[in-house]
Structures are given as C-alpha cells and as structure tokens.
C-alpha cells in the first residue's frame, strides 16, 4: 500500500533532532527556522519534555474522559497562570482544527445563533466548520459549503460594524487569527481587535481568538491577541502546546457555561498529551521563553530589514514573514538545498520564519549568514 499523496514532499528524511537542528538519515545537519510549522516551541527533543513524557508513559498513557484526571487540572491551572486568563476554563482536544471547530460550536450553542464572521485570507483548519471559515475555496469540499459564514475584509472596522448592524442578533461569533499565518504573516491591528471586542459585546456575539499558530508565546505575549489589550471569549490553541506531541485546546471565558455532553472527545486531554503540554509550560517559565521570543524576534526582524533583496518584513516575536523581490522566487529552495536551512513559505513570495523559542543567537547569526549567501548566489546567477 502506498501513501495518499496530499503533501508535496521535500526529498529529505529526518531521523534525529535537537534544539533548532535536525539531521537526515545520512547525517547531514539542517538548521530548523520553520519549527516543523510553528510546532516546536521549546526546541526539538528538549530533555525535560522527553523525561516528563517518558515518566508519564511508565505510569499511565491513556484513559478515557470518564474518570478524574488530576493532570488535566494541573494543566488548566498552569495555563491560567501563564496566559493571565485566570478565570477561564479549559477544554482539551487534539489539533488546531478541532480546537476551532469546538470553539465555533460552543459559540453557537451559547448564543443559539448560526452566523460566523471570518476574514479574508484566514486559515482555521480542515474540519467542517473550521474549513468553511477558511478563505480558500480549493480546500472546502462541497459538503462543507454553508451560508453561515460571512467573510469580511481583514482589518476593516467599518465593514465589521456594517455587517453587525445588518445582521444584528444572528451573529454567533467572530473568529480571527491575531497574526494571519498561512496568508503570509499579517497582523490584526489593535484597533481592529478592540472593535471586534466592542461589537461582540454590543450584539452579544462570541469573540474567538484563533491562537493556533500565533499563540503559545511565539509573538512575545502568550496570545498575540493580547497586544490589543482586550480579552477574547475563547482562545484556541494547538501547535506549540505540545512541542510536537499532538494536543489542542480552548480556553473559555467564565460567562460561557458548560453542560454535560456539550462537547466531547476520546483522545483529547489524555495523560500523555497533558504531560507533554505541562513540560512545555514548565520550560517556557524556567527559560523565560516569551521574553526571549520578543527580544530575539526584534533582533532578527531588524537584521532582515537591512538585507538587500528583502522587500518587507512583518510579524511579531518569532512569527516572522519577509517578502522577497520576484527574482528571488527560488530562495526557499536554495536555502534548503545549498545552505541546509528549513524555512516556511506563503505563496507567492513570502518566507515564513517560525523557529523554536529557544533558538540561540548563534543560530540566528547562522541563518542570517546563510540568507545573505543565498541571496548573493541567486543574484550572481541572474546577472
């Protein structure tokens, strides 16, 4: 049997990883500026994470959500503390799409309404409601098409206010990434997030902060939405939460009430996943990784701004996108093949940097040197 080919693959097989470095089966070393797609938060195979998962594996890996699991309560308490959302409650699941799916369902249950506002170029995952709220028709199957999603232009306060005024009392939720990732690293403005909060309050809708990619400290704050100084009603999380161990979740404001049977999952919140997530938070606190993300991101962005060929630099902390002149369309390929550096992309010409929050200054220098050399190489070929 062969694999169902839905991913265009790099011809590389990674067999070992440590910190911000990975090795292929021939022993070739690569610098990971992609963090396995924003997933690696505390560095590959961090020893505390490995030990905590290993210890948990020896105790108990799984039981169903029909029994008390103190490790889930520990995770909820740790999340309350690190996020500053001290009175929010936690529902655990397994991925980012599931987190958004549950957030959207919960908003609909809570309000008794059907309509969702999402924004141009959004990406919220591939389950039915999450993909319907994703602005990419090519990944929405006919069965997922629905009239319940209203797409509005990103960062347009007037369009948001007009939509609420015209659809008063039918809007269940607004879902927004604090920094759009797949779109190519575009920040929601503080003014826009404040307007979402205000409109949701005025019309009784739920503000859902999709923090799957921009959350978990990557921006320099626990949730990038926090830069706007307002609280969302639900925060969705995944990617960095388990440092590669599959886990997702939503943080839910106290005015949204739980009821038995409202949400549910078999695997969500299993002890092994909770151990991985607790290890991540423990390392983030011990190694001050949010401050590190803010400071290292600033250094990296300033350096990028001074590199010839770089047209624009966007982002916050260690969620960075830089746009290249069209002549450098092959830059990502050259970085990987010639300089052994993994990066992300957003078509047509944005390179995305989503490294581990533990990345060292010397690895940042290594990346900047590789980038300059790659740009030189391409320039010399084209002149």
Among 135, 187, 210, 363, contact with ligand PLP (rule: CB under 6 A): 210
Q: Interface with ligand PLP includes 212 (CB under 6 A)? A: yes
Q: Which is nearer to ligand PLP, 97 or 173 (CB)?
A: 97
Contact 269, 276 (CB under 8 A): no
Give the closest residue to 220 by CA, choosing from 25, 357, 78. 357
Closer by beta carbon to ligand PLP, 111 or else 213:
213
Q: At its nearest, how many Å lie between ligand PLP and the CB of residue 351?
A: 16
- Residue 248 CB, shortest distance to ligand PLP, in Å, is 6
User: C-beta of 116: minimal distance to ligand PLP in Å?
Assistant: 14
**Quick one: 172 or 176, whose CB is closer to ligand PLP?**
176
Biggest alpha carbon–alpha carbon distance for the chain: 67
For residues 78 to 107, the per-residue mask of contacts with ligand PLP, x marking binding by CB under 6 A and - elsewhere, is: -----------------xxx--x-------
Measured distance CA(133)–CA(174) in Å, rounded: 10
Min dist. Cβ of residue 98 to ligand PLP (A) = 7
Give the pairing of strands 115-119 and 344-346. Answer: unpaired
Interaction pattern, residues 106-125, with ligand PLP; x per rule: CB under 6 A = -----------------xxx
Distances (CA, A) of 304 to 184, 352, 374: 16, 12, 14
Nearest residue to ligand PLP by CB is 96
Task: CB nearer to ligand PLP: give 199 or 236.
Answer: 236
Q: Which helix (H) or strand (E) holds 81?
A: helix 70-83
3-state helix/strand/coil string of 116-183? EEEECCCCCCCCHHHHHCCCCHHHCCHHHCCCCEEEECCCCHHHHHHHHHHCCCCEEEEEEECEECCC
CB of 21 to ligand PLP, least distance (A): 23
- Per-residue x/- marks for ligand PLP, 223-242, CB under 6 A? ---------------x----
Residues 169-188 that bind ligand PLP (CB under 6 A): 177, 181-182
Residue 216 neighbours by CB under 8 Å, 6+ apart: 41, 222, 237, 239, 240, 241, 280
Q: How far is the CB of 345 from ligand PLP (least distance, A)?
A: 13
Integer Cα distance of 150 and 133 in angstroms: 8
Per-residue string for binding with ligand PLP, 262-281, x by CB under 6 A?
--------------------
Q: Any contact of residue 213 with ligand PLP (CB under 6 A)?
A: yes
114-149 exposure pattern, b = at least 16 Cβ within 10 A, e = fewer: ebbbbbebbbbbbbbbbbbbbbeeeebeeebeeeeb
Contact footprint for ligand PLP (CB under 6 A): 95-97, 100, 123-125, 177, 181-182, 210, 212-213, 238
């Amino acid at each position: 049997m062969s694999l169902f080919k839905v991913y265009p693959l790099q011809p590389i097989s990674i067999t070992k990883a440590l910190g911000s470095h990975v090795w292929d089966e021939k022993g070739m070393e690569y610098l990971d500026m992609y963090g396995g797609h924003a997933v690696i938060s505390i560095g590959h195979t961090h020893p505390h994470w490995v030990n905590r998962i290993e210890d948990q594996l020896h105790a108990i890996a799984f039981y169903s959500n029909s029994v008390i699991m103190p490790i889930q309560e520990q995770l909820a308490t740790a999340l309350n503390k690190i996020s500053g959302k001290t009175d929010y409650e936690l529902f655990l699941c397994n991925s980012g799409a599931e987190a958004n799916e549950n957030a959207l369902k919960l908003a609909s249950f809570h309000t008794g309404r059907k309509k969702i506002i999402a924004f141009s170029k959004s990406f919220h995952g591939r389950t039915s409601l999450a993909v319907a709220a994703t602005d990419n028709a090519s990944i929405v199957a006919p069965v997922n098409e629905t009239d319940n999603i209203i797409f509005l232009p990103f960062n347009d306060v007037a369009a948001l206010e007009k939509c609420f005024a015209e659809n008063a009392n039918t809007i269940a939720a607004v879902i927004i990434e604090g920094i759009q990732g797949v779109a190519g690293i575009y920040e929601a403005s503080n003014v826009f997030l404040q307007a979402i909060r205000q409109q949701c309050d005025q019309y009784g809708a739920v503000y859902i902060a999709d923090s799957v990619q921009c959350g978990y400290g990557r921006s320099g704050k626990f949730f990038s939405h926090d830069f706007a100084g307002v609280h969302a009603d639900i925060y969705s999380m995944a990617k960095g939460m388990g440092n590669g161990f599959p886990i997702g979740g939503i943080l839910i404001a106290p005015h949204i009430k739980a009821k038995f049977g409202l949400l549910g999952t078999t695997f969500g919140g299993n002890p092994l996943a909770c151990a991985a997530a607790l290890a991540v938070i423990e390392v983030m606190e011990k190694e001050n990784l949010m401050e590190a993300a803010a400071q290292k991101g600033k250094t990296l962005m300033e350096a990028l701004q001074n590199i010839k060929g770089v047209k624009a630099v966007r982002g916050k902390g260690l969620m960075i996108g830089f746009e290249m002149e069209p002549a450098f369309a092959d830059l990502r390929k050259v970085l990987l093949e010639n300089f052994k550096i993994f990066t992300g992309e957003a078509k047509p010409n944005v390179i995305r940097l989503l490294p581990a929050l533990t990345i060292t200054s010397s690895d940042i220098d290594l990346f900047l040197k590789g980038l300059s050399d790659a740009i030189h190489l391409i320039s010399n070929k084209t002149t």
